[in-house]
Amino acid sequence: MVHNTGIQMLQLKGRILSRTYLICFAIAAMPAFSVVSANDAIKKKALELYPQADTNGDGVLSDKEEAVLSRQALKRHPQADQDGDGVLSDAEKQKLLRMAASRAKPASPTPERAEKNRAPSFANVKYGEHERHVFDLWLADTSEPAPLAIYIHGGGFKSGSKEKLNVDTLSQLLNAGISVAAINYRYVTIAPLPAAHHDARRALQFMRSNADEWNIDKDKVAAFGGSAGAQICMWLAFTDEMAKPDSPDSIARESTRLTCVATAGGQTSNGPELWRKTIGPLLGGNGKLESLSKPLGNEKDPEKIRIATWGASTLEEANEIAARHSALDIVSADDPPIFMSYGMSPTDKLPSDPKRVRGWLIHHVNLGIALKEKTDALNLEAHLKYPGAKPNYDSLVDFFVDKLLEE
């Protein structure tokens, strides 16, 4: 009796151990299968974007080939290693592949096809009463609501148009699944500043009010532009919410806040003090900041030009209005991240061609450095690109893909 009971106990114990072993094996195998599946998807996408990585030409990426490609990617894009462990995780690889896909261009399109691809989904949409209150809109081919990037052109507030939108930038954003708009606004010769800023705000709110019709994700909206357009972009990004919830105008009730912003050659301050500090020394001993001022109509006096530019009665009033539209004066810790790019390094010398000097100075990287110092002090995310710098993003497209398409 005791002997039989002992045998039965041993048999039961064996069955339990066997079952436990099988369960443990199944559990251990499940994450391994999941990793392999994720790995396969990464390899497939990597092969699509980098067919040269398939060194043996068998049509698939082996573990060894994928590892070589990963090491090359890490060397070229060290910022992709976000956790700093020296290797690319699956999530980091997938993020890098998304950015690479956004930069990929269609192979050798014919001029006719390229022109067709650039045609906006909606052209010259009116968002106000003036003839320059229009924008073009390109809708990304997505089933889910797409993020939106709004281009605001430069031109010293006196010239420029929505047609200045870079075609490559447009294509890359659309390929990434980001819809794009390009706006016009009133020149300072039509209405003094900040009319141009207010026009851009209205255009932004108008687009948000039509988000459902255009399949736009109104919670993921960015702005980008250069020079004067950069100033407007930064004003939108760094100004507190300007929506009027109780307004009878449904458009005015829409949010003015942005998810992120990107600028090129942006003037980060409208204050003469910062310009004297950051740009003045570059002019040399005999140079004066007043020499950078351009006539406004028939007016050539720098002070009177400043007063007229800002629609003021006195220089003091003009300075006060300008400060309310100056990135360095209004930026705060709760503002969205910014990507800034400039065409020169801080140590570059003045251009030898006198015709280039003014443009070089008014778009100087020192202005971006001043804002970067302020954002760093606020612990606000900001990226500064210029020749010789090593920012986390190669371009505004990479930046937007990360900020607008992140899960």
Say if residue 405's pLDDT is above 50: yes
Relative to beta strand 146-152, strand 179-183 is parallel
Write the DSSP string, 170-228: HHHHHHHT-EEEEE----TTTS-TTHHHHHHHHHHHHHHHTHHHHTEEEEEEEEEEETH
CA triple 50-51-56, angle to 5 deg: 130
Give ranges for CATH 3.40.50.1820 in the chain: 112-405
247, 265, 217: which is closest to 396 by C-alpha?
Answer: 265
Say if residue 114's pLDDT is above 60: no
Question: What confidence score (pLDDT) does residue 19 get?
Answer: 43
**Percent residues over pLDDT 90 in the chain:** 65
| pLDDT, tens digit, 9 for 90 and up, residues 15-47 | 444 444 333 333 333 333 333 345 787 877 777
Q: What is the pLDDT averaged over residues 153-165?
A: 97
Q: Are 370 and 278 in contact (CB under 8 A)?
A: yes
Confidence of residue 218 (pLDDT cuts 50, 70, 90): very high
Say if residue 111's pLDDT is above 90: no
| pLDDT, tens digit, 9 for 90 and up, residues 331-386 | 999 999 999 999 999 999 999 998 999 999 999 999 999 999 999 999 999 999 99
CA pair distance 258, 248, nearest whole angstrom: 23
CA pair distance 149, 253, nearest whole angstrom: 20
Say if residue 117's pLDDT is above 80: no
Look at domain 112-405 and name its CATH class: alpha beta
Other beta carbons within 10 angstroms of residue 389's beta carbon come to 14
Give the global pTM.
0.75
| pLDDT, tens digit, 9 for 90 and up, residues 259-293 | 999 999 999 999 988 898 999 888 875 567 777 88
3-state secondary structure of 95: helix
Question: What confidence score (pLDDT) does residue 32 get?
Answer: 34
Other beta carbons within 10 angstroms of residue 101's beta carbon come to 16
Q: What is the pLDDT averaged over residues 120-139?
A: 98
- Determine the number of helices (DSSP H) and then strands (DSSP E) in the chain: 15, 8
